[in-house]
Amino acid sequence: MTSKARWRYIPLILWAIFVIFPLYWVLITAFKDNRSIYGGAKFIPFVDFKPDLGAWASILGGDNSILGPLWHSLLAVTLSTLIAMFVGTAAAYGLARYDLKLAWMGSRDISFFIISQRMMPPIVAVMAYFILFRQIRLLDTIAGMTVVYTGFTLPLVVWFMQNYFRQVPVSLEEAARTDGASRFMIFWRISVPLTTPGLIATFLLAFSFSWNDFLFAVMLTQTRATTLPIAIAQQQGQLGTAWWNICAISLISMVPMIAAAIVLQKRLVTGLLGGSER
């Protein structure tokens, strides 16, 4: 094992370098000023260039304050994810536990209808949203973005939660049932708590999808509801590109994702694969 395994570090370390270096570059660029960026590549802070906090001052309340977009993002993404989680978890439970029939369609067909929505490219919906939102005055509003992101993440929630519910044994539910608990109570008090790890994983994944979205936001927001990815894109202006700001905002927008990664660890993968690994 020992001598045989050691060679494996070589490819692993090489890939690690490939992964880390771009991130490192973003990190140091967030502390560069105009002079340190233009005029050749500068690799090491304090040696090659003097770290500068200008970008951070500028985006946290300065000329390029991102506090607005940060707030819009947090509000629209959190709200939509919560709604999608609530509606989607119920649907996933219904599909996993009941044999539904609608004309020729059974549970499987309905489940396929919901999950297949993931295949629809967002660009298809966004054209229609643009015109419809103009008519009902939802363009460039946080409410509008909440609506869009709810539809965007709902299929994902149903898909994941269905897999989690199938892993939960039904015996507990049957016991509660003979005790006379209502269907909704069984769902809410017994089944949902049993899938807590799955709930967390699904919430975080759905959150990250909306959090990182660019297509919907770039087309449906202008000023009042711009999100963080738009704030990043806006740093590229007519007067040149503020690379230091771009990097600083990118780092800030990574914070929730890193937190998610720490909570998630293995759970995300179990959710994606469902029961297939057992």
Pick the closer one to another protein by CB: 43 or 71.
43
Separation of alpha carbons 226 and 224, rounded Å = 6
Query: Phi-psi region for residue 47, left (φ > 0), alpha (ψ -120 to 50) or beta?
Result: alpha
- Where does the chain have alpha helices with state H? 2-6, 9-29, 34-37, 54-59, 67-97, 107-116, 122-135, 142-167, 171-178, 183-185, 192-194, 196-211, 215-220, 228-233, 243-264, 267-273
Q: What is the closest distance, in whole angstroms, from the C-beta atom of residue 201 to another protein in the complex?
A: 12
Q: What is the closest distance, in whole angstroms, from the C-beta atom of residue 39 to another protein in the complex?
A: 7
Q: What is the closest distance, in whole angstroms, from the C-beta atom of residue 38 to another protein in the complex?
A: 6
Pick the closer one to another protein by CB: 121 or 180.
121
Pick the closer one to another protein by CB: 81 or 163.
163
Query: Phi-psi region for residue 111, left (φ > 0), alpha (ψ -120 to 50) or beta?
Result: alpha
What is residue 202's three-state secondary structure? helix
What is residue 213's three-state secondary structure? coil
Pick the closer one to another protein by CB: 54 or 167.
167
**Residue 236 is inside which H or E element, if any?**
strand 236-237
Q: What is the closest distance, in whole angstroms, from the C-beta atom of residue 164 to another protein in the complex?
A: 11
Q: What is the closest distance, in whole angstroms, from the C-beta atom of residue 206 to another protein in the complex?
A: 13
Backbone angles phi, psi at 136, to 5 degrees: -105, 20
Q: What is the closest distance, in whole angstroms, from the C-beta atom of residue 9 to another protein in the complex?
A: 8
Pick the closer one to another protein by CB: 60 or 173.
173
Pick the closer one to another protein by CB: 60 or 176.
176
Query: 């202006």: which residue's tokens?
Result: 237
